[in-house]
Amino acid sequence: MKKVHRIVITGGPCGGKTTALEKISKTFREMGYHVIIVNETATELIHDGIRPFGDHKLDLIDFQRLVLDAQIRKEEIRDRAVSMSSNDKIIVLYDRGILDNRAYLSDNQFKKIADELNIKEADIIPRYDLVIHLVTAADGAVEHYSLDNNTARTETVEEAIRIDQKTIDSWTSHPNFRIIGNKTGFNEKINRVINYIRDEVGEKEVSHEEKYLVDINGIDIASIHTHLVRQSITEFVTRFDFDENEMYRKTTIDGASYYTCTVMSNMRDSNHRLTIYRVISEEEYYDKLNNSSNQPIEKVRYNFIYEKDRYRLDIYDNPKGLVILEKDITEDSSLELPNFITPKKNITNDLEYYDASIYSRINSKNKTYRK
């Protein structure tokens, strides 16, 4: 059976994308994969003399409209190539994905172009299985920041850091989004990219996260001065066991939805889980839901990045009153939590707060979460 892994490599200027793409391509071709590359569209246009700066420059919005249109067409052609390939192990590498374009526009400008092209974020997210962001050398390794190896690059150190953060903000809602900083040195930075992809092509992800119980009265969402992505989530469990569970989820962003099935297996260290994740059709989701007589979990998720760490704040409507903060742990992670959230309890190792356990609890006699 043909298995295709679609992986975005993104990041700020001079983050290591070119080196990473070369090493990924070489490594996985040697392992027998058919590697298909979607080169960075903006750079191609700039090299062709179509640019938003310098002589004969285009208006920025017009330029980004061309980039987005060309990006979609290129991805469609690669998808056709995938369907023609005889290899059953395929990796499609995207040198930036569709949401990268938002980093160079205001939210309203990006929405205007996306509406013209009939693009919704809920349609974009499932296009890619994994998104890896390489933080610009300007942030944490400024001595290595250079414009010499890319003639399409014009950013100062300050501009590079600003674009890097906007790019991170653009991908915050993706469920398999990884940020790799500069604390471990460049070679290790590239090796971490390879390791994330090794996990992905094995159809598994070993996640390491911390979880905290939070008092909703201690949070003022409006006062959080960082980019927030709001999602409405409905999920239910079709197979439940403390060792493994299968969960179906509907995720809605700005009125549009996508659907996923996730199988999670707990490892001996209970804050590590082996995860198999796949995008499913709306029909498969509702077929499973209609065959279940249980109440689904209902919650609002706020995705955000703080100090380069990725967080998910889940505010549950069913069960009412439950609020959980999750933090992804990597080699770059800060020891501190955001100062605008005060946790009540660290529940990292508490299986009772996994969604499968919560689902089981709300479908017993106790319908409301109790402190």
Q: Establish whether domains 3-203 and 206-362 are of one fold.
A: no
Q: How confident is the model at residue 203 (pLDDT cuts 50, 70, 90)?
A: very low
Q: Which amino acid is at 168?
A: I
Q: With a cut of 90, say whether residue 350 has pLDDT above it.
A: no
240, 360 Cβ separation under 8 angstroms: yes
CB contact at 8 A, 132 and 10: yes
Please state the CATH superfamily assignment of the domain spanning residues 3-203 in this structure: P-loop containing nucleotide triphosphate hydrolases (3.40.50.300)
Strand blocks (E) in 165-255: 177-180, 205-214, 228-239, 244-253
Helices (H), the chain: 17-30, 41-47, 60-84, 107-116, 121-124, 157-171, 186-201, 282-290, 355-362
CATH C-level class of 206-362: mainly beta
The mean pLDDT value for 29-48 works out to: 93
Those residues whose C-beta lies under 8 Å from the C-beta of residue 162, and which sit 6 or more positions away, are none
d(CA 346, CA 249): 25
pLDDT, one tens digit per residue, over 96-133 is 999 999 999 998 999 999 999 998 999 999 999 999 99
Whole-structure pTM value: 0.83
Q: What is the pLDDT of residues 317-349, one digit of tens each?
A: 999 989 999 998 888 888 888 888 888 999 987
Q: What single letter denotes the amino acid at residue 158?
A: E
Burial (CB count <10 Å: 0-12, 13-18, 19+), residue 241 = exposed
Show me where the domains of the chain are located.
Answer: 3-203, 206-362
Q: What is the pLDDT of residue 273?
A: 62
pLDDT at 135: 96
Q: What does the pLDDT average to over 3-7?
A: 94
Q: How far is Cα 177 from Cα 125, in angstroms, rounded to an integer?
A: 10
The helix (H) or strand (E) run that includes residue 312 is: strand 309-318
Q: Judge whether residue 68 has pLDDT over 80.
A: yes
Residue 148: pLDDT band with limits 50, 70, 90: low
CA angle 223, 229, 246 (to 5 degrees): 125
**Contact between 316 and 298 (Cβ < 8 Å):** yes
| Sheet architecture: strand order including 130-134 | 34-38, 89-95, 3-11, 130-134, 177-180
Q: Which residues contact 60 (CB under 8 A, 6 or more apart)?
A: 52, 104, 105
Residue 256 three-state SS: strand
Residue 78 structure tokens: 């690669």
Examine the pLDDT at 370 and tell me if it is beyond 50: no
The pLDDT assigned to 60 comes to 92
pLDDT in tens, 244-292: 788 999 999 999 999 999 887 765 554 556 777 788 999 999 999 998 8
Selection from 238, 292, 241 nearest residue 260 by Cα: 238
> Is it the case that residue 153 has pLDDT exceeding 80?
no
User: What percent of the chain clears pLDDT 70, i.e. is strictly above it?
Assistant: 92
Q: Return the sign of the alpha-carbon dihedral for residues 292, 279, 276, 121.
A: negative
For the chain, the farthest-separated pair of C-alpha atoms sits apart, in whole angstroms, at: 71
Whether the pLDDT of residue 369 is over 50: the answer is no
Is the pLDDT assigned to residue 367 strictly greater than 60? Answer: no
Which range scores top for mean pLDDT: 76-90, 136-150, 224-238, 267-281?
76-90
| Neighbouring-strand partners of residue 275 | 205, 264
Q: CA-to-CA distance for 200 and 76, rounded, in angstroms?
A: 22
Overall average pLDDT of the 59-79 stretch: 95
SS3 128: coil
**Residues whose CB falls within 8 Å of the CB of residue 302, separated by 6 or more in sequence, listed in order:** 221, 224, 228, 229, 230, 231, 312, 313, 315
336 contacts 307 by C-beta, under 8 angstroms: yes
